[in-house]
Structure 1
Amino acid sequence: MDGTPRGRHGTAATLLTWERKKSGAAATTVLQLKHHSFTATPDEPAARDRYLRRLLAADEARANSLQLHNNNRAAASTTQSRSAEVPLTSGISFQTLNYVTTLGLGGSSGSAATNLTVIVDTGSDLTWVQCKPCSVCYAQRDPLFDPAGSATYAAVRCNASACAASLKAATGTPGSCATTGASNEKCYYALAYGDGSFSRGVLATDTLALGGARLDGFVFGCGLSNRGLFGGTAGLMGLGRTELSLVSQTASRYGGVFSYCLPATTSGDASGSLSLGGDASSYRNTTPVAYTRMIADPAQPPFYFLNVTGAAVGGTPVSAAGLGASNVLIDSGTVITRLAPSVYRAVRAEFTRQFGAAGYQAAPGFSILDTCYDLTGHDEVKVPLLTLRLEGGADVTVDATGMLFVVRKDGSQVCLAMASLSYEDQTPIIGNYQQKNKRVVYDTAGSRLGFADEDCSYV
């Protein structure tokens, strides 16, 4: 066995085949989401082991930071009062398991915008990139954005509404000024993540280029001091829900609707898509889009929540105390899905019962993944699929490529790609690994989330 899994659609269980190495309405904008090959990871087992452990540790830090963010937001609330489409790619070659796309900043009619690769994140609001002159910056693939080279760049001033209430809603902290009371000075932002990552710099506006569309006066963070788990990307695209998110800033053009299709293929030539706007003509879904209610939490304004009312593994329903709980977070920036302990135990038990009955040999756990198998010698395996029943009756079945995480390329260590939260009262998270080969539609105007099966690997 070698390479990566390919799934054939099914609702209960599906055959997962392994590709062997070979020799050779409103306006809509579509951006590309490419999936870089896992061959970008080290081939040597020990090096690959260290590499994947580092990436999964980063994902665990991300999940923990969301729990901390949620707790902090809730505590603060209690204290105060009771269609553009762009390419979307896996960030594996950028040392991150998140998905990345390219946006442009600056330029004018006589000069091109600066293209920057950024992480696509539905759990953040403020879009930011590293900028010159950068006092503290991590290494990135693209050249740093230079505000001095853009004729349309302007710093947001301290007396602007974006510097106060809007920035506080987006980041948890209002903007600051170098001199107290000097309202016409530059507005500085400070964005801190619960895992210790941060971005600090000047809140600014410039022309944003998305595919062939250009949007003037886009508010973003020009990061002058940045540290954290951002790999070699230039920054982050915030697709959250507050005023400063890209979704809100472009609502007059795209109607507050966006969708993505995350690619599962490991081919570096293939890509998924990020569509801004409600025009479904660019979708390639093979099933109708089924919608469920989008839930907002005033204590956690950036995030998108939904209700999960039931679950089944391989067509067999599972029961657990944690099923039916409200406010399950769907997040493009978290990789591995986290389930409440009672739900995870039930899902794992049914998965291992069905998978074990097929005679597959157990293997040691890996990092946060505790249920692994040795599939050496099997060119294809029958994988029980997880189905989530959502409020309103919509069923979402995880694609076969989202059920197993390949640790060893020879198939000797392949793990159930889900993990347990520490406590029942923590927020469950549906991560991007389980969203592959789905068209996921975020309709903020209609307060609904949609799901459909789709082959997201466009060559």
Structure 2
Amino acid sequence: MRFYMFPPQLHSSSKWTSSRFVVQFFSVLAMATASFFLVVSCFSSSIFIPPSTAHNDINSTTSDGFVVDLIHHDSPSSPFYDHNMTSTDRSIWAADRSIARLNYLLSVTSSSSSLGDISSKLVPEYYEYIMMYYLGVPSTLVYGIADTGSELIWLQCLPCTHCYNQTPPIFDPAESYTYETVSSDSPICNAVRRISCREGDKSCCYQHTYGDGTTTKGTLSTDVFAFEDPTRTIVEVGYLTFGCSHDTKARLKGHQAGVVGLNRHPNSLVSQLKVKKFSYCMVIPDDHGSGSRMYFGSRAVILGGKTPLLKGDYSHYFVTLKGISVGEEKVPLPEGIFNINSTGTGGFIIDSGTTYTVLRSEAYNSLVNTLSNAIHLPWRKYRRFGICFEGRSDELASAGPDITFHFYGADFILTKRTTYVEVEKGLWCLAMLSSNSTRKLSILGNIQQQNYHVGYDLEAQVVSFAPVDCATF
């Protein structure tokens, strides 16, 4: 791990002036102790002194983009990996997480489809991929849940009124030279659900209510963010706004300190970086190689088939799924079954935080029936899974035709490795679930997205799919 004692210079697009830098530089030197003066003299070329006002205008990333690693929760190389869990345990737990995730997304989309819906109902314990970043000066390493289904960047901060146990030290704002709170009269404060602060405190205090009833409360803040790319180069992206949570009632634990929201809301990392494109390539957790990665800006990969993002005030990534086929046979589905209806419910979302693809019950049942007729192996239901086949993996590979999702403008072909999960020795279950919900939402989960490079072009308003081996990409 690499930490800066002082932050590197920001990219040239930063709005600092040389005169302001000189004044503040010598002001700090005048107040410094002799030992501190000696350190500063050695590293003066990399010092960056914060001004006394909010910095949310200083948030541009490098012009050529950057790449960060993603860590899957169930990867053996993950710091979160639980060696005591069996493959069956992981499959069932992932199914439970997927249903909980569906309920979260339903609670968001049913309450409002507008960007103005500022109450995040994220269920943070049901995470999948983790993103590392550095915060503050001196920098603190933070593990955040990478989530295309939520908007806010937040993490636990000292002092804690109530915090869950996390393995790394909790971020201490008092130790960062560049940390500042957002004022309650700042326009940024209107983008969160505000609550009253302590008497006399003019900061922007917020509360987020979660889908499972838990809450996080804290102070909207700004500080310097940086990411480490796969070559271990530190890429500083400037000041970003985030939630400094002092009262977090959630079931998170271990390394994860909070969430990195990646949807289309103005508070998300994607929006604050002002990037027009981002993409990710998710490795199947048991594979070895370069690992899963997320690409921002010009480093984003927009390749393969493209399907339009639905236009409108949607924070989530809605697309149009026209149909599903098993081999050459089309699954019998009503026309427009995956469309958003006149009441604003239904639709089809691409989401990195959901494990298994979830289909509305009518579509799921029809798919199961089609598979049972197409694959001549013994099959049965298993817990949450609607259809599971008995046999060796090579038998399933040769007997089972591919499943294809037909998006508007693009076909998305599932491989056997991303279609079935082995829940017991020789028992392979379809890695999809029925929503069992009256609100009709369907979700493309991250298991089906593995070994695809999934790109989001927010300027062209399309999502792209390119089949690749993400372990060697």
C-alpha separation between the residues in 2 aligned to 1:444 and 1:430? 19
Specify whether residues 291 and 75 from structure 1 end up closer, same or farther in structure 2 by C-alpha distance, changes over 3 A only: closer
C-alpha separation between the residues in 2 aligned to 1:444 and 1:402? 27
Contact kept, 8 Å, 1:240 with 1:303, in 2: the verdict is yes
Unpaired stretches in structure 2, ≥5 consecutive residues:
1-61, 118-123, 229-233, 341-346
Structure 1 residue 290, shift from structure 2 partner: 1.6
Query: What do residues 91-145 of structure 1 show as CA deviations (whole Å, max 9, x unaligned)?
Result: xxx98651111011102xxx3x211111110111111111112222222232211
Equivalent residue letter for 2:306:
Y
Aligned twin of 2:404? 387
C-alpha separation between the residues in 2 aligned to 1:134 and 1:229? 16
Equivalent residue letter for 1:119:
I
Specify whether residues 43 and 141 from structure 1 end up closer, same or farther in structure 2 by C-alpha distance, changes over 3 A only: closer
1:311-326 counterparts in 2 under 5 A? 311-321=324-334, 323=337, 325-326=339-340
Aligned twin of 1:291? 306
C-alpha separation between the residues in 1 aligned to 2:392 and 2:402? 21
Contact kept, 8 Å, 2:97 with 2:355, in 1: the verdict is no
C-alpha separation between the residues in 2 aligned to 1:77 and 1:204? 20
Structure 1 residue 198, shift from structure 2 partner: 3.0
What SS does the corresponding residue of 1:203 show, helix, strand or coil? strand
Query: What do residues 268-289 of structure 1 show as CA deviations (whole Å, max 9, x unaligned)?
Result: 7641110011335xx5x9xx42
Aligned twin of 1:430? 444
Aligned twin of 2:272? 249
1:24-43 counterparts in 2 under 5 A? 26-35=63-72, 40-42=81-83
Aligned twin of 2:131? 101
| Count of aligned residue pairs for this structure pair | 388
Specify whether residues 315 and 415 from structure 1 end up closer, same or farther in structure 2 by C-alpha distance, changes over 3 A only: same
C-alpha separation between the residues in 1 aligned to 2:177 and 2:264? 29
Structure 1 residue 257, shift from structure 2 partner: 1.1
Query: What do residues 238-284 of structure 1 show as CA deviations (whole Å, max 9, x unaligned)?
Result: 11112111111111xx3x2111111114147641110011335xx5x
Contact kept, 8 Å, 1:363 with 1:372, in 2: the verdict is yes
1:49-198 counterparts in 2 under 5 A? 49-50=88-89, 52-73=91-112, 98-107=128-137, 111=138, 113-164=139-190, 166-167=191-192, 174-178=193-197, 185-198=202-215
Structure 1 residue 43, shift from structure 2 partner: 5.8
When normalised by structure 2's length, the TM-score is 0.75
Equivalent residue letter for 2:103:
N
Structure 1 residue 189, shift from structure 2 partner: 1.5
Specify whether residues 377 and 221 from structure 1 end up closer, same or farther in structure 2 by C-alpha distance, changes over 3 A only: closer
What SS does the corresponding residue of 1:234 show, helix, strand or coil? strand
Structure 1 residue 77, shift from structure 2 partner: 9.0
Structure 1 residue 377, shift from structure 2 partner: 8.2
Structure index of larger Rg: 2
What SS does the corresponding residue of 1:456 show, helix, strand or coil? coil
Aligned twin of 1:335? 355
Aligned twin of 2:423? 407
Contact kept, 8 Å, 2:368 with 2:386, in 1: the verdict is no
What SS does the corresponding residue of 1:450 show, helix, strand or coil? strand
Unpaired stretches in structure 1, ≥5 consecutive residues:
1-24, 79-93, 168-173
C-alpha separation between the residues in 2 aligned to 1:77 and 1:120? 22
When normalised by structure 1's length, the TM-score is 0.77
Equivalent residue letter for 2:462:
R
- Kindly indicate whether residue 220 of structure 2 is the aligned counterpart of residue 220 of structure 1: no
Query: What do residues 289-310 of structure 1 show as CA deviations (whole Å, max 9, x unaligned)?
Result: 2211111443xx4211000112
Query: What do residues 354-412 of structure 1 show as CA deviations (whole Å, max 9, x unaligned)?
Result: 22x1x3x334413x322123335868733432211111x2111123222112223xx23
Equivalent residue letter for 1:126:
L
C-alpha separation between the residues in 2 aligned to 1:302 and 1:268? 34
1:230-241 counterparts in 2 under 5 A? 230-232=252-254, 233-241=256-264
Structure 1 residue 225, shift from structure 2 partner: 1.8
C-alpha separation between the residues in 1 aligned to 2:460 and 2:85? 49
1:5-16 counterparts in 2 under 5 A? none
C-alpha separation between the residues in 1 aligned to 2:323 and 2:92? 31
C-alpha separation between the residues in 2 aligned to 1:390 and 1:44? 36
Specify whether residues 455 and 75 from structure 1 end up closer, same or farther in structure 2 by C-alpha distance, changes over 3 A only: closer
Report the identity percentage.
28
Structure 1 residue 49, shift from structure 2 partner: 4.4
What SS does the corresponding residue of 1:278 show, helix, strand or coil? helix
Equivalent residue letter for 2:157:
C
C-alpha separation between the residues in 2 aligned to 1:264 and 1:114? 29
* Structure 1 residue ranges, 4+ long, deviating more than 6 angstroms after superposition: 75-78
What SS does the corresponding residue of 2:382 show, helix, strand or coil? coil
Specify whether residues 198 and 420 from structure 1 end up closer, same or farther in structure 2 by C-alpha distance, changes over 3 A only: same
What SS does the corresponding residue of 1:406 show, helix, strand or coil? strand
Specify whether residues 362 and 231 from structure 1 end up closer, same or farther in structure 2 by C-alpha distance, changes over 3 A only: farther
Contact kept, 8 Å, 2:94 with 2:355, in 1: the verdict is no
Structure 1 residue 435, shift from structure 2 partner: 0.8
